[in-house]
Chain A
Amino acid sequence: DSGVTQTPKHLITATGQRVTLRCSPRSGDLSVYWYQQSLDQGLQFLIQYYNGEERAKGNILERFSAQQFPDLHSELNLSSLELGDSALYFCASSRTGESGNTIYFGEGSWLTVV
């Protein structure tokens, strides 16, 4: 158990809908990362937050947004969903968010768009 908690574990929704994925980082970790893992694209970094502020942005679509709350949990919002958004979404956390920190991954949220 990495200490990073993600909910829901599985989610099925229709095209055009909006979903929210939630993540609680490890106790004491200030930085949260979101990744998308699809069959054909591998692991793609989406966005990083540190202590409530956006720190780095990767290949995140405009239809997607995220935030980190004062209690350090984070949410990833996916809207106007398309079939191609079906993927495993990972959240991860690290102590300070510096590049040398070890990143601990959650179990992921499986999103299926039908």
Chain B
Amino acid sequence: EPEVTQTPSHQVTQMGQEVILRCVPISNHLYFYWYRQILGQKVEFLVSFYNNEISEKSEIFDDQFSVERPDGSNFTLKIRSTKLEDSAMYFCASSENYSTREAFFGQGTRLTVV
């Protein structure tokens, strides 16, 4: 069964460093997302992306964050200068469309900022 794949599964970084979280969405999906889950809390929307453009972003997704689809298979989330409060599980997801179809999530990348 096709699945969304995220790497790495766990990343530890020092405050102020840049991190790139990587995702390979399901191959025939064209709509991509990043969500965040701070430990023990609910899953929060960060950004949705289609046709090389951001469709919607939340207030969490400030200038420190960026997304990119560098090639035909990868979808990345970059945090330019990490803060302690960026520590969370980051989920990538993809779907066939924005409206009627469900999003399928990857297994997550746990980011720990020290």
- A and B together in one complex: no
Mark B residues whose CB is within 8 Å of A: none
